Structure formats: C-alpha cells, structure tokens
Amino acid sequence: MSHEDIHRDDDQALEQRLRAALRPVDPGAGFVGGVMARVAAGRPGKVRPLRARTAASWASFALAASIVVALLLAHQRQVQRTEQGLEARRQLIEALRVTGDKLDLASRMVNAPPSPNYSDSGA
Amino acid sequence: MSGDQPCTSGELLARAISGDAAAFGTLVRRHQRSVYSLALRMLTDRHQAEDLAQEVFLQLYRSLASVESEEHLGFWLRRVTMHRAIDRLRREPRYLTSTLADAELLAGEAPDADPILERRLRGLLEELAPAARAVVVLRYQEDLDPAEIARTLKMPVNTVKSHLKRSLAQLREALTAPGPGGDGDRPAPPQPLPSGHRTLV
C-alpha cells in the first residue's frame, strides 16, 4: 500500500468520523411552540407594536400642536402690538389736529381788526 | 385542515405563505432538526442554539413571500442560520459546553458511535475560525458539496476547498498528535480556560 493510499484511507476515516460527530440532533420538545409564540408576538398589528406606534403618533401630534399654538400666540401678540401702535398714532394725529384748530382760532382772534363800536365809544 | 396532515412541500409552503399558521408550524417541524443542529455545531451551546434557530424561523416567517420552493427554503434556512451564527460568534464571547450539556448530547448518540472520539472531534471543531467551522459543518452535517457551500456562505469555491483542506489537516494533526496522556485518540484532560471564555454550568 502506497503512502498516498494510506493518506486517502486516513482522510476517509476522518470524514466518516466527522459525519458521525456532526449527526443532526433534535432541539427540545418545546421548540416549535417557542417559534410560534415568537411569531405571534412579532406579528404586525399586535397589541404591543400598535401601542408603541400610537404613543409615538400622539407624541408627534402633541409636539406639532404645541409648535402651532406657540406660533399663533406669537402672531397674536404681534398683531395686538401693531394695533396698539396704530391707535396711539391715530390719537396723536387727533390731538395735533385739535391743537392746530385751537391755535388757528387763537391766531384769528389775535389778528382780527379792532371792533368799530369800541372806537366810537372812546371818542 | 390540520397542518400535520400529509401534504406536498409546495402545497405546505403555499399555505404558509397565505398565512396558514398550522402549515408554517409543520414547516418548522420539518426543518427544525437541520437548523438547530447547524446552530448547535456553530455555537456549541444548546440554549444559544435554540435561541438562534428560533430567530431564524421568525425571520423566515417575515420573509415567506420571497421563498420560491422547498429547495430554496432549505438553502435559505442554511444560509441565514450560518450567517447569523458567524455574526454571533464574532460579536459575543464564546461559550463552552458544560459537562451537563455534553452528557445530554451523549445520551442522544447512536449505539455504535464512539462518543469520546466524537466529543473530541466536536471540541477540536470549536478551535476552528467561524468561517472554517461553517464550511466543515455544512460539508459533513448537511453533506453539501463545495459549490453549494460556496453559494450558501457567499464565498469563492476555491476558498471553500482551501478551508476544507486546511481544517481536515488541522483536525487530523490534532487527533494524531500525542496528548499529555500519550494517546492521540483519547480526549485530553481539562485545560484551564483562556480568559474571555465562559463556561455555562
């Protein structure tokens, strides 16, 4: 028997031993039940994922609503301040107009010619 | 209709794809031995192997629509199992089987088996790198040829052949080398565990 034949026989023996050592074995009795339970727990639409998704949706909605309310309040305050400014401007113009009228009246009275009746009585 | 009734693989697969849980359960029952054994030979721990095998079937449930045939299903299961096992081996610290787990494995041996030698071989297999171990397990447990192994592990055929050759040489050398007791076919006495290894008791 040549050296190669001996080596081939050794290889075949080792391969047989490996096949025997790696014979498939069964898992525990509850294996299929465990798989089905995990499948049921992970199925889409089940309580846990749905709850998680709902909570996430509500959180997003609440955040978006808070931002919108904050923007509306800021806008409302801006409008209010603009209106107050316009009202103050209107009141100032009105006051200036009244003052102008009064001054105009006073000016006319001062610059008016003396009354003839007053001159006659003095002569 | 019960899922345990005799049924062709194609019918069973079609029923499982259409949402029949009993048919899916039957598919799991048909393939659990292969998937679990692959995981066990890779991870060497029964609990980790069961967990990984269940994860593989859970992934199968989510990917059923992409499975084309029973043959494709077998290929798919082997590929996902081996890739997940290799990932886990690279990610997590290695577990060594306890004497209790070994005893349970020995209880399932065939009567004509040499349990001590087989245990030694399985121990030596643990010393191989994850990819090399995967090649050896697919070759001698699943009886796949190098081309099928290459397809399963997504590696070149020449790499598969190289892994096989080197692994067999390494195993042969370890088996024939005289151990501390002087007998190459006898298991060596327990050695202190290297750091990073954990024993499950």
Which residues lie closer than 8 Å to A50 by C-beta, 6 or more apart? none
Q: Which of B61, B122, B172 sits opposite A21 (nearest CB)?
A: B122
Least confident range from A1-15, B67-81, B98-112, B164-178: namely B98-112
Residue type present at position A31? F
| Interval A36-73: pLDDT, tens | 999 888 765 443 445 566 777 888 899 999 999 999 99
- Together in a domain, B128 and B53: no
- The interface pTM score, or ipTM, of the predicted complex is 0.71
- Together in a domain, B44 and B77: yes
| One-letter-per-residue 3-state SS of B101-152 | HHHHHHHCCCCCCCHHHHHHHHHHHHCCCHHHHHHHHHHHCCCCCHHHHHHH
- Together in a domain, B73 and B30: yes
| Interval B107-132: pLDDT, tens | 455 555 677 888 888 888 888 999 99
Whole-structure pTM value: 0.62
- Together in a domain, B129 and B87: no
Q: Nearest chain B Cα to A28, which residue?
A: B50
CATH number at residue B82: 1.10.1740.10
Q: Domain range spanning residue B160?
A: 96-189
Last residue of a domain, one of B94, B123, B150: B94
Q: In B, residues 135-194, which contact A (CB 8 Å cutoff)?
A: 136-137, 140-141, 143, 168, 171-172, 175
Banded pLDDT at B194 (limits 50, 70, 90): very low
User: Is B148 among the domain residues?
Assistant: yes
Interface contact B28-A36, CB threshold 8 A: yes
> Euclidean distance between the first and final Cα of chain B, in Å?
44
